[in-house]
Amino acid sequence: MLTSILFLSAIFSTARSCPKHDNYQSHPHLGRRQVRIDVGRELKDWDYDHSADWATIRPEYALCQSGTHQSPINIAGQELAVTHTPDFEGYKNEPVPGNFANWQFAPSFTLHHPEGEITGLPNLKFDGQEVFLIGWHIHAPSEHLVDGRRSRAEIHMVHVNEEDEEAVVVGIRVNVAPPGTPTESAFIKQLGPLIHFNDTSQIEGLHVNVRQAIDEVGGLAEYWTYKGSLTTPPCTEGLRWFIPRQELLVSEGQMVEILAASRFSHRVPQEVWLHDINL
């Protein structure tokens, strides 16, 4: 309920919700060993019980209702994309430091980088552009549907352009490996214990190999792409989405842990309109 969220105790925090965070720019503990601090809780004036109606909350959220290419969508009956091919060469296969927390709905990670300097972050290239990974967070269950089917969770890897504007999200659907295939996700495993949605603490200086997530979905050799938006208010448009065909597979135990740390966090699917899927 909206009211219960408003009553959540602590008044301020540096962490902004999905997908970008205010505190990603620099960090006082940069370069220091791992610490755990309480960052408090930011008040949100929206929630997932009313995700079909966010535009009524504030004029700034108007696009949530009037936008022409809102996310998430159901990708139905689509061939795989052959356009805007993403190149993950700039995602080094090594752990990078960041802050691990929960964005009040599910686990989240914000990469460290020196103030005003994003170009050292893992980068993704497409169409001659370069965008930089500032963080990732989870939604449960998944926001995107493929042929009407929803996965148990979805990881959003959020990238900004050189002007520091949100430009690209890679939306990785997460599911449980089929019975008999004892798959464990190394990407999830390296995180250690996940932080619960009610826990306002943040682990600073956790090292995470983000490349692992890309590798676990086949390096996005198969994907869909479209023009979409942020999936939380203010629902800003003009972002490119990449949705790998492969789901990231986790063990039953890992999925139980992801779900236990998360709360319901998918926006209602949006009508496909000017999304230019795969175009």
Ligand X SMILES: *[C@@H]1O[C@H](CO)[C@@H](O)[C@H](O)[C@H]1NC(C)=O
Which region, judged by CB under 5 A, interacts with Zn ion, from 15-23, 49-57, 118-126, 197-205? 15-23
Q: For ligand X, how many residues bind (rule: CB under 6 A)? A: 3
Question: Judged by CB, which is closer to ligand X: 7, or 116?
Answer: 7
Binding string, residues 192-221; x marks residues near ligand X by CB under 6 A: ------x-----------------------
The strand pairing partners of 224, in sequence order, are 243
Nearest-approach distance from CB 18 to Zn ion, in angstroms? 4
Q: Where are the alpha helices (DSSP H) in the chain?
A: 2-6, 63-66, 186-189, 211-215, 252-261
Q: Which is nearer to Zn ion, 239 or 255 (CB)?
A: 239
DSSP E strand boundaries for 105-245:
107-111, 123-126, 129-139, 145-146, 149-150, 153-160, 166-176, 201-208, 223-229, 237-244
Interface positions, 167-186, toward ligand X (CB under 6 A): none
CB of residue 19 to ligand X, shortest distance in Å: 23
Nearest alpha carbon to residue 239 among 166, 173, 172, 170: 166
What's the closest the beta carbon of residue 268 comes to ligand X, in angstroms?
24
**Selected range binding Zn ion among 11-19, 144-152, 237-245, 255-263, rule: CB under 5 A:** 11-19
270 and 73 Cβ atoms separated by less than 8 Å? yes
For Zn ion, which residue of 15, 18, 124, 248 counts as binding (CB under 5 A)?
18
Judged by CB under 5 A, the chain residues 68 through 107 that form the site for Zn ion are none
d(CA 32, CA 39): 18
Please say which residue, 5 or 62, places its beta carbon nearer to ligand X.
Answer: 5
Q: Which residues touch 129 (CB under 8 Å, ≥6 apart)?
A: 161, 167
Residue 272 token pair? 């496909």
Compute CA 58 distance to the chain's CA centroid, rounded to the nearest angstrom: 24
Question: Which residues in the 2-61 window bind ligand X by CB under 6 A?
Answer: 8-9
Q: Least distance (Å) from ligand X to the CB of residue 108? A: 17
Identify the three-state secondary structure at position 6.
helix
8 binds, among ligand X, Zn ion, none (CB under 5 to 8 A by kind): ligand X
Task: Give the residue with the Cβ less far from Zn ion, 27 or 266.
Answer: 266
Nearer to ligand X by Cβ, of 123 and 202: the residue is 202
Can you tell me whether residue 180 is helix, strand or coil? coil
Going by C-alpha positions, the residue among 189, 177, 191 that lies closest to residue 250 is 177
Our CB check for ligand X shows the closer of 3 and 9 to be: 9
Per-position x/- string for 125-164, each x denoting binding to Zn ion as judged by CB under 5 A, each - no binding? -------------------------------x--------
Separation CA 269–CA 57 (nearest Å): 19
Bridge partners for 74 per DSSP: 145
Residues that bind Zn ion (CB under 5 A): 18-19, 156
Residues that bind ligand X (CB under 6 A): 8-9, 198
